[in-house]
Amino acid sequence: MTVKTEGAATAKQRDHAVKLTFRQKAFLSKVADVYRGMDVPLHYTAIADKLGLSKSTVYDMFRVLEQKGMIESQYVTPKEVAGPGRASVLFYPTARAKELFFHVAGEVKDEWEVLKARILTSLRQGKAGNYKDVIQELLNKAGQAQAPLEQCAEIVTALLLSLREANYKLSEKGSLSAIIKAPVSKLRMSILAGLVLGISLSNQAVERLLGNYRGYTDKYEASLRKLNKEGLMKLHQFTREVWSFLQA
């Protein structure tokens, strides 16, 4: 695991870049404790209850931070309501905010956590389930020189997203789900990538989208071989998170 620390001068430059007031930074520090370890959007009332603040205060602060690129919002309609239904607004920190949270909370920044936050934020921003732009962004980044864990995570996410673009039904009882839920091994993670690619390439549009897929799978296999036990466990857990997100 690669861990970096950040000096006081750099931290001050970061705070200045996002132009957060003392009150906003204090609020983010508290919000960090709620969101830490969680990658799901929350209703602002849940945040208000946990922080002991009024609902209007939390809502207004989230809207301000949203304008500064620190918070994302999304509207969801209860599945049990027929028709348009009544939408609820949920909030979650952006990758930029996640990175800042580590510094606001006085912690060391873990590059892996920042990467996960960036990818999961990109997934949530996929419009109406259309992930073409997200896939292209992931593959572009994977084509650059990176740490093995980062490269594996970006490529396997792009491959799993390609299943959605191919209109493949993500079943809990299918072979893919069985591999993902099985105990982790490099062999299983390799088989998973190959199986996903085989399914996706049955769709010509997805085949064009993936472009030089052989090059990406070669990079994935090479990086997978370099992972130590800790890195392999992280990749496996992250793959499960992406799988669960896509099923939802």
pLDDT tens-digit readout, 62-74: 999 988 888 888 8
207 or 151, higher pLDDT: 151
> In the structure, what pLDDT confidence band is assigned to residue 86 with cuts at 50, 70 and 90?
low
132 or 206, higher pLDDT: 132
pTM above 0.85, yes or no: no
Same domain, 74 and 103: yes
pLDDT at 213: 75
pLDDT at 59: 92
Same domain, 189 and 104: no
pLDDT at 158: 87
Same domain, 107 and 133: no
36 or 23, higher pLDDT: 23
Mean pLDDT of 238-246: 86
pLDDT at 18: 60
The pLDDT > 70 percentage for the chain reads 76
Mean pLDDT of 233-237: 90
Do the strands 42-43 and 88-93 form a parallel or antiparallel pair, or are they unpaired? antiparallel
The torsion angle over the Cα atoms of residues 34, 127, 199 and 173, rounded to 10 degrees, is 50
Helix, strand or coil, per DSSP, at residue 71:
strand
pLDDT beyond 80 at 152: yes
pLDDT beyond 70 at 181: yes
Query: 15: domain CATH number?
Result: 1.10.10.10
Same domain, 84 and 163: no
Among 103, 121, 139, the domain-final residue is: 121
Among 102, 240, 218, 236, which Cα is nearest to 170's?
Answer: 240
Same domain, 220 and 184: yes
What domain range includes position 68? 3-121
Same domain, 202 and 238: yes
Q: How many domains does the chain have?
A: 2
Helix (H) or strand (E) holding 59: helix 55-67
Same domain, 19 and 116: yes
Mean pLDDT of 215-232: 87
pLDDT at 187: 92
Among 121, 155, 171, the domain-final residue is: 121
Among 121, 143, 166, the domain-final residue is: 121
pLDDT at 85: 52
